[in-house]
Amino acid sequence: MSDISITKLPETATEPTDTRKVFVKTYGCQMNVYDSQRMADSLAAEGYVTTDTPEDADLVLLNTCHIRERASEKMYSALGRYRKMKEKRVAEGHNMTIGVAGCVAQAEGQEILRRSPSVDLVIGPQTYHRLPNALQQVREGKQVVETEYALEDKFEHLPSPKREQVRKRGVTSFLTVQEGCDKFCTFCVVPYTRGSEVSRSVAQIVAEAEELATAGVRELTLLGQNVNAWHGVGSDGREWGLGELLYRLAEIPGIARLRYTTSHPRDMDEALIAAHRDLSVLMPYLHLPVQSGSDRILKAMNRKHKAEDYFRLIERIRTARPDMALSGDFIVGFPGETDEDFEDTMRLVREVNYAQAYSFKYSPRPGTPGADFKDHVDEAVKDERLQRLQALLSEQQYAFQDSLVGTTTDVLIEKPGRFEGQVVGRSPWLLPVILENNTDQIGDIVKVKIISTGTNSLVAEKLS
């Protein structure tokens, strides 16, 4: 794990003197979206306001993703653009601080300063509560790399978001309950960038959820790299898993919908499956990546389960919640993957029938065991397999959407639509729903009939 700190940061920052603007650009997963919001909240306490235009920002903060090579390359090309903006701003007599946060910051640390000298600050995901202090150091003319794992709990040191800020973000919210991963899948950088599994306490999570509910949030998505590995001591003094936590969060007044992501098949325990059976607020949509349908490849990936275990698990989940829609992640072209292995993946997809899924070509990541494996698959073969898999997954996605036409369901009204009288809501399966001539309030949950489907949305009419 990188552990570089050019400057030792003091524990307290000096008071802000003026209002500054920050532009935050988020790459990657929902956990980064949540982190970006928390960073913006902690900067707001220092007098920063957010801007949508980097050209007039005093601080440009990139919250980066390292999961695949393309994701980190995106960051480096963006840094080239921000360097030019910075030069222009400096020529006009202003300043612009460029900060890199997130998983590339953690993985590459000082290397980022070498490749992009216009960067002033590199800060990892475990230390972003120290951002105000780091910025103070930058103002004093230093370049700062802050990627040491913090001994203190960052959540204890982050200011709570202001209520107006939460309201502006809407009626759905993310809430990180767990970070890091101990699974060490051989393709994945997460255990190295986000560190080992840490669960936030029940008290902290419940307090944050209550605060969000008071500010008008109706739908909470609990986040974690391995969210169903979450555990903690419950209010009854017993050890809780995610299932028990969901029962507790379901009691919070105002919270009408709960979701969680991303789960590992090995951590779907009995209590969590029972929560899907018992809690109507727990939405019938589950992202449960399997990565491959071949036992040989699953073993090489260190997934510690077989395809058959996954099928049995899906059966138990569907017994508990028959309307459950499933989503997954797939990697094609993992080292050693033969045509036969790939056909096993296609068979698994046909058998499970996904409502939605993400699929990727294997991308060797430095420092992971997979990168050193032999028998890397040809790019052209990876391309062909990905195309075939994505065609099958799209077919399933459209079939799922079509199957909803004519059915009735609940929709959470989220925001005004593009046209007068139109609103956009969210179905239990995450798909956006467009409602015409609607006068309901943002945050209302209304009964609708689905009348047609778009590419990635549904069109519905309200039932009176």
If the CB atoms of residues 82 and 362 are measured against ligand 5AD, the closer one turns out to be: 362
247 binds, among ligand 5AD, ligand SF4, none (CB under 5 to 8 A by kind): none
224-263 footprint of ligand SF4 as x/- string (CB under 6 A): -xx-------------------------------------
> Which one of the spans 4-12, 164-172, 180-188, 202-210 is the region binding ligand SF4 (CB under 6 A)?
180-188
Out of ligand 5AD, ligand SF4, none, which partner does residue 66 contact, by CB within 5 to 8 A per kind? none
CB 283 within 8 A of CB 258: yes
**Binding segment (CB under 6 A) for ligand SF4, from list 132-140, 178-186, 268-276, 439-447:** 178-186
Identify any residues that bridge with 408 across adjacent strands, giving them in sequence order. Answer: 449
Between 64 and 363, CB nearer to ligand 5AD: 363
SS (H, E, C) 365-424: CCCCHHHHCCCCCCHHHHHHHHHHHHHHHHHHHHHHHHHHCCCEEEEEEEEECCCCCCEE
The single residue among 71, 134, 181, 283 that binds ligand SF4, judged by CB under 6 A, is 181
Q: CB of 433 within 8 A of CB of 458? A: yes
Residues with Cβ within 8 Å of 110's Cβ and at least 6 positions away in sequence, in order, are: 2, 4, 6, 122, 145
183, 361, 376, 415: residue in contact with ligand SF4 (rule CB under 6 A):
183
The entry of ligand SF4, ligand 5AD, none near residue 433 (CB within 5 to 8 angstroms by kind) is none
Q: Please tell me what DSSP assigns to residue 272.
A: H
- Token pair listed for 268: 């779907």
Choice from 59, 131, 188, 213 touching ligand SF4 (CB under 6 A)? 188
Q: Residue 216 CA to chain centroid, in angstroms?
A: 22
- Residues binding ligand 5AD (CB under 6 A): 67-68, 187-188, 289, 291, 329, 331, 360, 362-363, 365
Nearer of residues 107 and 188 to ligand 5AD, judged by Cβ: 188
Residue range at the interface with ligand SF4 (CB under 6 A); choices 82-90, 121-129, 187-195, 414-422: 187-195
The answer to whether 327 and 428 have CB atoms below 8 angstroms apart is: no
| Rounded Cα distance, 186 and 300, in Å | 7
Nearest distance in Å: CB 368, ligand SF4: 9
Nearest CB to ligand SF4, comparing residues 23 and 260 = 260
Please state, in angstroms and as integers, the Cα–Cα distance from residue 115 to each residue in 119, 131, 250, 355, 429, following that order.
9, 22, 48, 41, 42
One-letter identity of residue 206: V
Cis peptide before 127 (omega within 30 of 0): no
Among ligand 5AD, ligand SF4, none, the one that 181 touches (CB under a kind-dependent 5 to 8 A) is ligand SF4
Query: Contact residues for ligand SF4 (CB under 6 A)?
Result: 181, 183-185, 188, 190-191, 225-226, 264
